[in-house]
Structure 1
Amino acid sequence: MAESSVKPADESLKCKKLEYNIHSYSSYSTTYVPENIKVDKSNDQSSRWSSDSNFPRQYLVLKLDRPAIVKSITFGKFEKMHVCNLKKFKIFGGMDENTTIELLDWGLKNDSNSETFDLKHSLGEGQFPCSYIRIEPIQSWGPSFNFSVWYVELRGDDDRTRVKRAGQWLEQYRDLEITKLCMKYFRQKNQMEIYNALQSATGITLEHPLLTQLFNILVHDGDYEQVEQLMTNAIHNDYLAWYISQQDYRPCWSRVSTPGPRPGMRGGHQMVLDPLTQTVYLLGGWDGTQDLSDLWSYSIRESQWTLICPNVEYVGGPTPRSCHKLCLDPERRQIFVLGRYLDQQLRQPEFLKSDFYQYDIDLNIWTLISWDTSSVGGPRLIFDHQMCLDSKHSKIFVFGGRVLTPSTTSNNSSSGQSEERLISNNSNNNNNNNNHYYNNYYNNYYYNNHYNNYYYTIIIIIIINNK
């Protein structure tokens, strides 16, 4: 045979070649008789079976010399690609010519390599034997050409003891399925006395108890709320895990409309989520006219906004700001605030202090941790940076962003303009990016390949640990 192109058929290597004869066929063309498929002559264009029509249903029925558990089939081909090769086909098998099971639905590549395929040979927990194999061509590579099969080899197990055991299992399996179909029919017809009697006599369970419960709740009771609860429990218990894993995630947006007071339109604000209480906190932002310093909370469970403070500056909190960053410690229930944006005219040395605040959620108290973090080894005044908190190790990480600097003695100073610089360890690195993203999932930190400078400030760790 030509070189094999295999769709996983490892079992075929352990099985013996099964002998067969041509039992019946739909048609053939001139000298392309069905018996040709028993001999592998890849260099002989006439050594093949070819139907005299491409109109369904064309077929070949092979009868094994003795019943066997057929595990694989190999198709040989001509030494060159050919328009009559089978692009699509089906394989059926069974102990009786007229009672067969679909074993394979596949197709051949249009090349010269032989192909081997696994065949279905198990039902439930046992294997089943076959005496007949039926090959049904569906489509050839040339749309208007007849079907051709060059060579067929079957492999499997024809041990008499194992085949006999498989035949007994097949009979038991058929009896089981017939009984289940009868039970299903009687239940659909609401003939529950017959259904219960059949179940009691055979001891056969029609289906998983969860499906029976679903049928009773939905069909008999019509209780849709209970159906939803049942499906929710099934999902939580991983009964639908495989099905769900095969589904594509699709985002679904919905507008959140809440009654009562809520934050106005703004940009450059910051939000953090407390995962334990399902609460979102919002601080500051720019409303198009001025920076804001209001603090809000949003309860996801209650779908309600609450104004905690209209101006946190008046209660010891940070000044109005935008483009700052927040991070939340869910265990200690604290929020940390660092950074802000300043307009050009405000970028004077006395204003360019990187203040650092902590807010205690339970006590509703603001604490100024540092008036200027750059004076204690931390970052200078920055904006568009990113922060995340490792609650387990009591660490805050600050990454990237833009640093604000005051006017210099250069031409920029004479023009009254200050500088905005990207934070970077390498002045030759032009790939800095001030839009960074952190992921705290499983205490791992992911960021892009722009190696900007990040700060891990000792004062932050001391404050958290001393709490």
Structure 2
Amino acid sequence: MNDVRVLKYAIHQCSSFSSTYVAENILWDRPNDQSSRWSSETNHPPQFLVLKLERAAIVKEITFGKYEKTHVCNLKKFKVSGGMTDSTMIELLDSGLKNDSQPETFTLKHTIKAHLFPCRFIKITPIQSWGPSFNFSIWHIQLKGNDDPSVVKESLIWFNHYREREAIRLCLKHFRQHNYTEVFESLQKRTRVQLEDELLTKLHELLVVRGDFKATEELLEETACKGLFDEYIRKQAYKPKWMPINPASNNVRPGMRGGHQMCIDPYSETIYLYGGWDGSQDLADLWCYNIAKSEWICISKDTSLEGGPSARSCHKMCLDPQRKKIFLLGRYLDSAIHYFFQSDFYVYDTEANKWQLITDDTAAMGGPKLVFDHQMCLDVEKNTLYVFGGRILSPNVTDERHTSCPDQPNFSGLFSYHVPTNMWHKLCDDISSTSSPQGNQGIKSRIGHSMLFHEKLRSLYIFAGQRQKEYLSDFFTYNVDTHEINVICDGEHSEVPAAGFTQRATLDAELNEIHVLSGLNKDKDKREDSVKNSFWVYDILQNRWSCIYKNDSMCNSVVNEKSEPCPRFAHQLVYDNIKKIHYLFGGNPGRSHLPKVRLDDFWTLKLTRLSKSELLRNCKKLIREQHFKEIIAENPLEAVQYLQSELSETFDHSDAEEQKMFQLLASLMFKENTQKNESISEYDSHNCYKNRTKVFDTLVDYFPEEITQPKSNLVDLILL
């Protein structure tokens, strides 16, 4: 039996119109009736609509109906909460609606700790409408879920037990924080509820109760070795560190260019660069950069003279680090050229220094036609290439490489190429095409996008790009084994890198991260393109984007250009997944007064975040600071020695802020005797326990939440 059904509800409370007015409209789906909606009187908070279900249910879906046309009052952003009472709700959804006439359905959070969560009340809170300064309108709401009494009863029993257990844990935390030992032990013995994991209980015993600071540090070192701090470290924001690369003294280096291609062999520490556009012509030179020696080598000034590809830009190439092969496909051709619109396909053996023409026409083999600004990546294990998107070239192409496309251009679909058998297969056509293989879903093809392959997850990650005048910011995966498409986000409802063109992306399968450096962005307010670079990291496991770097300075000052690369597009970015370093070369700075100028600067980008050793150092600093303050009260001379040795080594004295903190601690030793006496009285038995507890509570934040005491405090529940 299907456990999802439409749930009946009534209007319980709203912030504007009377419940009678709302009930007569919101309950019925009338997309052609302008008046059939709940509409707030203002867009200032608090604005909300609370629905009361006929009976408690597991609410799994919410569907928003809309007006038959786009409307300025549609909800661009909103939140949905739910709970058993109208005063105790948790957030179930944070999203938004597209400004169109199509109903939208969202999945609501309906489990807590893998258990079903029952609701009697659902609250919709508008945050932003599509029209600036307009009020909010909700045209129709449908709720779906399971209100089977046996299912709901079981979830209610668990939920009430869960609330009871969490209430006891809050009490246990409060009693222990205030050293109410007898009450704490009595409650724990009576209820048999554990406050936390045994490891944290041991940490509390060593640090807070006994004041055994050395044993506390040893326990934290063991904890770090077990990886219990890894989750906390992973949540910390990266800090970008750009460094210009100045090659060795021979001064041989590739010239200025954009639209070139690069790939990296992390095992031999070699970067390969081919072709591009120097502002006046396409190039056919092949270079390699030896990372260890910090020098460029020109392998060939013109590969076409050595059996290789002709001069080109807007092509793609990727490297097989196991077999030492580089594959190259596609190029841009000007409309003035009226011949040879076939798609040649090359492979370069990096060890033998030899090019081979695989075919002069991939389309004749069942592969893509001649394309540019497509994407290509490699499944090393299966020795298979994947090619997606790109603009199909034909003699009537008239647009520039990075401008909007003319009416009805043709875009290429998704293809695979199996290297050992020399076989092409069309996996998916453009969504607008009717020639897609039967049974396959379509994909909206595009140019200037990003595509990466995650070998462990067996999926292609495809992001953004441009299709005619539309800048895309959708993000989805394609499983190469099952051919399933999964839309991660449509670009409308969550913070993602700005819709743009020629962004560059890399993937770290070990860290499960995708990195994106933006390029040419679409400024919707100014209705024009702008060059703004920003660096984003997508955490695959957490499904979360974070922006760690921005540079939208158009002045390109000499000072800035020495510390970080100026904004650009048509650049190239490769990633050493072993040493965790990005390499950036060249591009177009977008200077309208110098349209032919291209860049030849070379940079590394290192993403740094709090390391395990740094976190341990911070932990030891907290512990030793507490120990030091307690020693002052007992033996000032011993405190001086402890300050100069054990405590000092936990500070980074090259950091001005940390050095200042250390000096403030040292100043405690030089206060007047009256102040010292006050310091001594501060560290009596009761205050020692209280201050050690503060240190313990800080350390707890570094542990996984599922093994720690509750984050909230009992006293915070008391309202005046």
How many angstroms does 1:446 deviate by? Answer: 5.3
Matches within 5 A, 1:18-417: 18-28=7-17, 33-217=22-206, 219=208, 230-247=219-236, 250=239
Q: Which residue of 1 aligns with 2:615?
A: none
8 Å contact from structure 1 (residues 84, 147) kept in 2: yes
One-letter amino acid matched to 2:119: C
Equivalents in 1 of 2:190, 2:19: separation in Å? 59
Moved more, 240-249 or 195-204: 240-249
How many angstroms does 1:249 deviate by? Answer: 5.1
Q: Deviations over 1:144-175 (max 9, x none)?
A: 22211100001111111111111111110110
One-letter amino acid matched to 1:74: T
Q: Which residue of 2 aligns with 1:427?
A: 306
Equivalents in 1 of 2:350, 2:52: separation in Å? 75
How many angstroms does 1:207 deviate by? Answer: 1.8
Equivalents in 2 of 1:37, 1:64: separation in Å? 14
One-letter amino acid matched to 1:454: E
8 Å contact from structure 1 (residues 186, 192) kept in 2: yes
How many angstroms does 1:242 deviate by? Answer: 4.3
How many angstroms does 1:429 deviate by? Answer: 4.7
Q: 1:236 to 1:80 in 2, by over 3 A?
A: farther
Q: Which residue of 1 aligns with 2:351?
A: 454
Equivalents in 1 of 2:214, 2:59: separation in Å? 49
Q: 1:213 to 1:431 in 2, by over 3 A?
A: farther
In structure 1, the gaps of 5 or more residues are 1-12, 255-265, 269-285, 287-326, 329-383, 389-399, 404-420, 433-438, 457-467
How many angstroms does 1:78 deviate by? Answer: 0.8
How many angstroms does 1:16 deviate by? Answer: 0.3
How many angstroms does 1:141 deviate by? Answer: 2.0
Report the secondary structure of 2:156's partner residue.
helix
Q: 1:191 to 1:455 in 2, by over 3 A?
A: same
Report the secondary structure of 1:454's partner residue.
coil
Equivalents in 1 of 2:237, 2:120: separation in Å? 42
8 Å contact from structure 2 (residues 172, 188) kept in 1: yes
One-letter amino acid matched to 1:75: F
8 Å contact from structure 1 (residues 425, 452) kept in 2: no
Q: 1:440 to 1:89 in 2, by over 3 A?
A: closer
One-letter amino acid matched to 1:201: R
Q: Deviations over 1:161-196 (max 9, x none)?
A: 111111111110110000010011112112233222
Report the secondary structure of 1:135's partner residue.
strand
Q: 1:96 to 1:402 in 2, by over 3 A?
A: closer
8 Å contact from structure 1 (residues 71, 118) kept in 2: yes
How many angstroms does 1:18 deviate by? Answer: 0.4
Q: 1:16 to 1:229 in 2, by over 3 A?
A: same
Report the secondary structure of 1:33's partner residue.
helix
Q: Deviations over 1:364-421 (max 9, x none)?
A: xxxxxxxxxxxxxxxxxxxx99699xxxxxxxxxxx9579xxxxxxxxxxxxxxxxx8
One-letter amino acid matched to 1:51: S
Q: 1:200 to 1:428 in 2, by over 3 A?
A: same
Give TM-score scaled by structure 2 length: 0.35
Q: 1:267 to 1:133 in 2, by over 3 A?
A: closer
Q: 1:214 to 1:244 in 2, by over 3 A?
A: same
In structure 2, the gaps of 5 or more residues are 251-266, 269-287, 312-318, 328-346, 354-720
Aligned residue among 16, 31, 38 for 2:5: 16
Give TM-score scaled by structure 1 length: 0.51
Report the secondary structure of 2:348's partner residue.
coil
Q: Which residue of 1 aligns with 2:614?
A: none
8 Å contact from structure 2 (residues 72, 134) kept in 1: yes
Q: Deviations over 1:314-350 (max 9, x none)?
A: xxxxxxxxxxxxx99xxxxxxxxxxxxxxxxxxxxxx
How many angstroms does 1:237 deviate by? Answer: 2.5
8 Å contact from structure 2 (residues 3, 146) kept in 1: no
Report the secondary structure of 2:134's partner residue.
coil
How many angstroms does 1:118 deviate by? Answer: 1.6
One-letter amino acid matched to 1:427: E
Equivalents in 2 of 1:91, 1:151: separation in Å? 15
Equivalents in 1 of 2:61, 2:158: separation in Å? 20
8 Å contact from structure 1 (residues 29, 51) kept in 2: no
How many angstroms does 1:135 deviate by? Answer: 1.9
One-letter amino acid matched to 2:93: L
Paired residues in the alignment total 287
One-letter amino acid matched to 1:143: P
Report the secondary structure of 2:306's partner residue.
coil
Equivalents in 2 of 1:135, 1:110: separation in Å? 18
One-letter amino acid matched to 2:306: S
Equivalents in 2 of 1:214, 1:22: separation in Å? 51
Q: Which has the larger radius of gyration?
A: 1
Q: 1:401 to 1:21 in 2, by over 3 A?
A: closer
Q: 1:46 to 1:253 in 2, by over 3 A?
A: closer
How many angstroms does 1:243 deviate by? Answer: 4.5
8 Å contact from structure 2 (residues 320, 326) kept in 1: no
One-letter amino acid matched to 2:76: K
